[in-house]
Amino acid sequence: MQHTTEEFVTNPLVLEHPIECEAPNDQLTRETPIASNIKYMVVGIIFGIVFVKAEIISWYRIQEMFRLHSFHMYGVIGTAVVVGMLSVWLIKKFKVRTLQGEQVVFHKKEFHWGNIIGATMFGLGWAITGACPGPLFAQIGSGFLVVLVTFISAIAGTWVYGLVRERLPH
Amino acid sequence: MLELIRQPWPWYVAGALIGLTVPALLLLGNKHFGISSSLRHICAACLPANIPFFKYNWRREVWNLFFVVGVLFGGLIATQLLSNPDPIVVSEKTVQDLEALHVVVDNELMPASIFSFNNLFSLKGLVFFVLGGFLVGFGTRYAGGCTSGHSIMGLSTLQWPSLVATCCFMAGGFAMVHLVFPWLMKLF
């Protein structure tokens, strides 16, 4: 990437940009640690309110989904995908630029075996905990403090993946 | 108006707002929607332990941590100020299935018979918190994303690996609920 920071220059072992990270930051304009990032917290707050108000954080809604007893979760995810697709299509078609005037960057995802093995493992965990990573945060915020244990365990899972990564099929 | 907000929101409102997160993040500053990355950034920031996977400039990705802290506050605000005064309505068939598994369906968003501190040091706690959380953390990172990164962001940008991942998320969930739960719940 063109964007280099002091850290990258001083320590070449530090990857400037984790390419596998599915939520990369592609902004080239320099950002300040707090002021530039507050707006993402605001988006997060709205997102968290939606999670609670549409009961997406509910363990019961996840059970209903996997038992095919309710359309709710399918409706939520389906609508989100359609709205997301339309938005991305519009951004590409009209070459909409970011607030900083930059071109919006898209990444192609390469298939690897984790898309099957890892995804199935996550599915198993999703049905147990009733939460994907987003709702984990919203559940804790909603006062289900025991979910902090689930959250710490999820961090541990991510850490162990990093540890054994080279030995797993990709 | 406040009355209406306090009611549970219908799927099309929630789905549309969640879908709009994709262009919101892209246009606010070229950020890609994906929540499980935050777990990786936390590892990279707190305990990189010289593991190459965590050696990257996490400070550049710090927006993601602001976002998830926002989600936590959003949960707090919604529960404290906008919460639904009525008990949660769970599908009749799911209630019956869960009763057969000895899970008591109560009025909150999460069943207290599972998600309480009393279960923390029991086999139930080990399965529902520790094992469940571990599978979520390990699985999402191995898969390269979760429901947000693959199912919403990935499908929105028409990536077929994300479709594969989404199908496997669902397959794992169905397998857990229909194949593992009947056997697992007998242990408690």
Mind listing the pLDDT tens digit for each residue in B61-95? 999 999 999 999 999 999 999 988 888 999 999 99
Question: Is residue A13 predicted with pLDDT exceeding 90?
Answer: no
If asked whether residues B57 and B121 sit together in one domain, one would say no
* Total domains in the fold of chain B: 2
In a domain, B101, yes or no: no
In a domain, B159, yes or no: yes
Q: Contact A118/B143 with Cβ under 8 angstroms?
A: yes
Domain that holds residue B36: 1-83
Residue A112: which region, alpha, beta or left (left: phi > 0; alpha: psi -120 to 50)?
Answer: beta
Domain end marker among B83, B106, B128? B83
Question: Is residue B149 predicted with pLDDT exceeding 70?
Answer: yes
If asked whether residues B141 and B73 sit together in one domain, one would say no
Residues of B in contact with A50 (CB under 8 A): 9, 14, 17-18, 74
Tell me: ipTM over 0.90.
yes
Closest CA to B14 of A133, A66, A53, A142: A53
Looking at the partner chain, which of B76, B77, B137 has a beta carbon nearest the beta carbon of A156?
A: B137
In a domain, B99, yes or no: no
In a domain, B168, yes or no: yes
**Chain B contact for A120, CB < 8 A?**
yes
Q: Cα(B24)–Cα(B33) distance, rounded to whole angstroms? A: 9
**Chain B contact for A37, CB < 8 A?**
yes
Q: Cα(A105)–Cα(A162) distance, rounded to whole angstroms? A: 26
In a domain, B121, yes or no: yes
Residue B88 to chain A, least CA–CA distance (Å): 9
If asked whether residues B182 and B120 sit together in one domain, one would say yes
Looking at the partner chain, which of A29, A83, A122 has a beta carbon nearest the beta carbon of B169?
A: A122
In a domain, B93, yes or no: no
If asked whether residues B78 and B127 sit together in one domain, one would say no
In a domain, B146, yes or no: yes
